[in-house]
Structures are given as C-alpha cells and as structure tokens.
Structure 1
Amino acid sequence: MNTFKTVPLAIRGLATLLLLSVGLSLANDPRPPAATGEGGWRSAARHSAGIAPDPTALADTAIVQVYAAATYGWRGYFAVHPWIIYKRAGDTAYTRYDVIGWGRGTVVRRNYALPDGLWFGAMPRVLVDHRGAGVEAMIEDIEAAIASYPHADEYRSYPGPNSNTFLAHIGREVPALRLDLPANAIGKDYRPVTRPLGVSPSGSGLQFSLLGLLGLSVGVQEGIELNLLGLNFGLDLNSPGLRLPAIGRIGLDDAVVSHRGAASGP
C-alpha cells in the first residue's frame, strides 16, 4: 500500500506548503552576515536603516509606523521581531516601543534602539505607515494599549507572550492602525487558555486560539489563517497572497500606508 496516498489531502497540502515556505526562507536567507560571523550579536549592526521619515523635516506631521525584522541567528529563518514608533505633530524625535526578552524589570522597553535601526544586522521593513489627520488620536489609543499590555512582566519566545504578542495586543486595541502582522510573527496568536476567543490581531476580525498553538483567525486585514503549533497557513484576500510560516507571505505587498493631509517627505 502506498502510505503517502493514505495521508489526508489537507495534511499533504499543508506539508507541501511548509516545505515550500521553509525552502524559500532558506534561499532568501533573511539573516545578516553577522549572524554567522565573528563577534556574534554584540558586533551586529544596529545603525539606522534610513527608512523612517525625517522627524525634523516633518515636524508638523503626526506619524505612526510599525516595523518588523528577522530575529537574530537561526530563528531569523522562521520568525520576525516587530516594534512601533510614533511622533506627535510638533515633535522632532520618535518614541519607540518593543518587547525585549532579556534584562531586568518590565519587558516593554521605551527607546531601546534607534527608531528604524537594524535589528542586530537585519533590515526592517515597514508594515504600517500612518501620517497626518487622525494620527494624534491614534497615538493616544496606542499609548493606552501599551499601558494595558497584560504580559509586561513575562516573556517566552515560543509560543508567547513575546514581542509579537505585544504588537498584536496594540493591533487589537487600536483597529485604526490596520496592523497585519505576517504569518511568521510567531507569538501574535498567543491567547491565555482562559480567553481563547476574541478579536484578531488586526482588530478587524475574530480569532480562536489556544496559547497560540492551535487556532483560526478571520479578518479584513489577515484574511483566513490557520495556526498549527505556531505555524500559520492562510489566504490574504485584502492584498492577495498566501500567508505561510517561515517566509511570512507570498503575494502583493500588504503594507498599510495612509498619508491623510500630511506633507510629503523622505
């Protein structure tokens, strides 16, 4: 008997997608050269990527951006680290927030690194870019969400709570952000067993999840996404594409950009 033929078609399909996504991630190799070079993380580049708008040139414009970059070392093949930056109109510098799993005290860190700094050598990409009208109110909601993060004193890289859990919390609390974390944002689906059902990480849909290990999300931003042991498979209908583990997605760029009455700038 052909054992492969006895395996359910759905399982074979998911296994094929997993192999495809891991293969593409290995081929792209999102890790920086320093990840395998001498000096390790201590010597990895953390300088500005040069992609954040100049806060001085746009001093009169309120701005919110969310970034994500490959995590350090071998984990960079499979997961990303996200963070959020913002400035109010009149400010000439950004405030940055992300969750850091090392060090003492709260894991929620303010201005831990440069606003658009490389994440230990990995180049960040923009997930969200809001500027202009309505962003001041959004910042108020973001700060309230940061203050209400329920896992500020705990951290687990897998399955969470971690840095992706933190950004997912902000996305749920601030749906105007329209944050669509990629499928390889491991930890975004973490929910305590006491609250398995609720709003999806984008704030635009519904989610059922058991500790981020088994669940389903349906929403305007994330489309339909199945979570199996932290590996996410889905179909994005808003910006057509496949949502896959390791590689994140294959398809059209899904970055959210909204410049409402904002001045142009770099």
Structure 2
Amino acid sequence: MKIYRQLPARISAPGRVALTLLVLLSLLANACTRGGKSWRETSRSSAGLAPLASEHEEAVVAAYRAKVWGVRGLVADHTWITTKEEGAAAYTVYEVIGWRRYQDMSVVRVAEDLPDRRWFGAEPIPMVDIRGPEAGALIAKIKDAVARYPYPKSYRVYPGPNSNTFTSWIASEVPELGLELPFRAIGKNYPFDRPELDEAN
C-alpha cells in the first residue's frame, strides 16, 4: 500500500522573503553573541587607549564609540565622553544608560570609571582625544552641558533620545570639541527641543 503525502503549497514571493529574513536574523543573532557568551560574561576591561590617570598629569578630554550588544551592533554604536582634570587621580565618564530609568534614576550616568572600557566585549574607538590646557579649558563647559541635557529621564532605542542623543548634545553645546558622530550613532539627530518627553515619563 502506497502512502501519498500531500506536498506543501508553493511559498509565495512575500513568504519566501519573510522566511529568508527570519533565517538571516536567526543567524545574525547567533553570530552577534560574541563567542557564545552572554552580555554578563563579556569584557568590560580597559582597552589601553587612554593614559593612566596616575601617570598622566595633564588634563584629558576624549570621546569614544563602540558597537552595541547583540544584533543591533551590526548597525549601531554606543558613545560616551570622558574627562580628567589636570592632576586628577581618576577619569570621569559621562554617558546615558537606558535601564537606569527603570530604577527611577536619571539616565545620565556620571561616574569615576575607566575611560576606555570595552562595551560588553566591543572594542572602543576614539573619536576625539584632546590633552593639556586645551582639554582643561573644555571640562567646565562639558559639565555644564551635561547638567542641562534636556532628557535626563527619557530613553528610547529608536529614534531617541538615547546615548547618542546625549553625546550629540554635548557636541553641539561644546563645539570646541570638534566632535562629529558617525552614521552608526543612531539617535544623534533626535531633536533637543522636546522636553515634554521627560514630563511624560
């Protein structure tokens, strides 16, 4: 006795596209786990790009970018600003971290930290590196701009405001930095004049 199996209907063109995208996304998600590690296992160590504060007397101002974690890292970067005043024993890092809003905290993180820390395994890339008196003259302006950031309680991955909106704000308020964000800094073009977003959060 022969058993006949009904062949599946031919997949339509839109269906093939959707199936292909699903397969590609699955492959990309697997590829972007950075060696099969979870984000908790990735490196957050210094990349050795910035001089040690204990060995460098001069003031330093720098901006970095690094691929974000996961699939989004294929197209997007996280950006941050770092400063060290003349004679200071540590760097200060300025950045926006989205999860902080869920703990009723400002999304703006200002803390003494490694300036060139790997972003969950991704190597940081310098965008600006200024040292000496020129850097020292910029630090007060950067602090003032950070304090006036219009979205301290708001965060959206897309279209913003996010970490790149914050860095873009600093760049616009302190043009002497000469900082231009790359196209991968998604959120950099988010408008700065929508404070009602903070009121709604």
TM-score in terms of structure 1 length: 0.58
TM alignment of 1:7-86, pairs within 5 A: 35-59=33-57, 61-86=58-83
Note the C-alpha offset of 1:34: 7.3
Note the C-alpha offset of 1:192: 5.4
TM-score in terms of structure 2 length: 0.76
Identity %: 46
In 2, are the aligned partners of 1:34 and 1:40 still within 8 Å (CA)? Answer: no
Q: Give aligned pairs, total.
A: 164
Task: Provide the rounded CA distance (Å) in 1 between the counterparts of 2:41 and 2:136.
Answer: 37
Q: Looking at both structures, which has the greater relative contact order when contacts are Cα pairs under 8 Å and sequence separation is at least 6?
A: 2
For residues 211-244 of structure 1, the C-alpha deviation after alignment (integer angstroms, 9 at most, x for no partner) is: xxxxxxxxxxxxxxxxxxxxxxxxxxxxxxxxxx
Q: Corresponding residue for 1:242?
A: none
Note the C-alpha offset of 1:121: 0.3
Note the C-alpha offset of 1:112: 7.7
Indicate the structure with greater helix content.
2
- Structure with the greater alpha carbon radius of gyration: 2
In 2, are the aligned partners of 1:97 and 1:112 still within 8 Å (CA)? Answer: no
TM alignment of 1:191-210, pairs within 5 A: 191=191
Question: Which consecutive unaligned segments of at least 5 residues does structure 2 have?
Answer: 1-27, 196-201
Note the C-alpha offset of 1:97: 1.0
Q: Corresponding residue for 1:101?
A: 98
Aligned structure 1 segments of 4 or more residues deviating by more than 3 angstroms: 36-39, 192-195
For residues 88-121 of structure 1, the C-alpha deviation after alignment (integer angstroms, 9 at most, x for no partner) is: 1110210001100113211001238532111000
Matched, 1:91 2:83: no
In 2, are the aligned partners of 1:127 and 1:179 still within 8 Å (CA)? Answer: yes
Tell me which amino acid in the other structure corresponds to 1:167: T
- Note the aligned Cα RMSD (angstroms): 2.2
In 2, are the aligned partners of 1:34 and 1:43 still within 8 Å (CA)? Answer: no
In 1, are the aligned partners of 2:65 and 2:124 still within 8 Å (CA)? Answer: yes
Tell me which amino acid in the other structure corresponds to 1:152: P
Note the C-alpha offset of 1:136: 1.8
In 1, are the aligned partners of 2:150 and 2:192 still within 8 Å (CA)? Answer: no
TM alignment of 1:218-229, pairs within 5 A: none
Question: Which consecutive unaligned segments of at least 5 residues does structure 1 have?
Answer: 1-28, 196-266
Q: Corresponding residue for 1:18?
A: none
